[in-house]
């Protein structure tokens, strides 16, 4: 199994994995509205590949809450033939380690608390994803101490302008 950063050539193969693993209509989810027209955070979009193809993939997008930069985790999916082997957990740990190295301070996702709590994610009562989103599924993680303190309100899309605060996917963020 090889760990690789996703390249543009991998895009549709990763999309096919997501189509396989998620219910039809996944792109209608409100979290996708935060991704429309915004580049993913390339160095954190990782995949695990073996001779059969892509076994697991994770992507991240930049978003903002109250002017603070936030890393939106997802989608993540593991091919059904490899689920439960630890690949998902490994990809999450590795990508979050890299995110911290790149200077990201806080992470957000919409997902199942029973799964993501093992990585330290907690429900974010004061952070509002675009509707319709079940608030119990809005989960956050601090990569630096108190990174979510005072950061609350609506999650908004990042500017696509590379000079804007959220466009800096590879540099150290404050």
Ligand X SMILES: CC(C)(COP(=O)(O)OP(=O)(O)OC[C@H]1O[C@@H](n2cnc3c(N)ncnc32)[C@H](O)[C@@H]1OP(=O)(O)O)[C@@H](O)C(=O)NCCC(=O)NCCS
By the criterion CB under 6 A, which residues form the site for ligand X?
21-22, 76-78, 83-89, 111-112, 114-115
Q: Which is nearer to ligand X, 112 or 146 (CB)?
A: 112
Nearest CB to ligand X, comparing residues 98 and 168: 98
In terms of CB distance, is 77 or 96 closer to ligand X? 77
Pairing of strands 68-78, 106-110: parallel
Stated as kind and residue range, the H or E segment containing 15 is helix 11-21
Residue nearest to ligand X (CB): 88
User: Min. distance of Cβ 145 from ligand X in angstroms?
Assistant: 26
CB of residue 1 to ligand X, shortest distance in Å = 12
Q: Distance (Å, rounded) from C-alpha 139 to C-alpha 70?
A: 12
What is the C-alpha end-to-end distance of the chain, expressed in Å?
34
Instruction: Compute the Cα dihedral for 51, 52, 56, 60 and give only its sign.
Output: positive
User: CB-wise, 55 or 70, nearer to ligand X?
Assistant: 55
Check residue 42 and report its DSSP letter: G
What are the start-end ranges of the H helices in 56-116? 87-101, 113-116
Q: How far is the CB of 78 from ligand X (least distance, A)?
A: 4
CB 145 within 8 A of CB 109: no
Q: Which is nearer to ligand X, 18 or 66 (CB)?
A: 18
Q: Find out whether 80 and 101 touch, Cβ atoms under 8 Å.
A: no
Rounded to a whole number of angstroms, the minimum distance from the CB of residue 108 to ligand X is: 13
Cβ at position 52, least distance to ligand X in Å: 16
């Amino acid at each position: 199994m090889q760990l690789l950063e996703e390249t543009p050539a991998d895009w549709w193969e990763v999309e096919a994995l997501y189509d396989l693993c998620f219910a039809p209509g996944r792109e209608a989810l409100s979290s996708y509205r935060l991704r429309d027209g915004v580049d993913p955070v390339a160095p954190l979009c990782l995949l695990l590949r073996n001779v059969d193809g892509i076994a697991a993939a994770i992507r991240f997008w930049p978003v903002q809450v109250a002017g603070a930069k936030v890393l939106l985790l997802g989608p993540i999916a593991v091919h059904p033939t490899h689920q439960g082997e630890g690949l998902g957990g490994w990809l999450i740990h590795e990508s979050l380690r890299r995110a911290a190295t790149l200077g990201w301070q806080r992470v957000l996702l919409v997902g199942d608390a029973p799964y993501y709590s093992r990585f330290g994610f907690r429900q974010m009562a004061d952070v509002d994803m675009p509707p319709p989103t079940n608030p119990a599924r809005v989960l956050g993680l601090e990569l630096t101490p108190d990174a979510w303190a005072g950061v609350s309100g609506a999650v908004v899309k990042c500017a696509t302008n590379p000079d804007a605060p959220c466009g800096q996917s590879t540099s150290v963020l404050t």
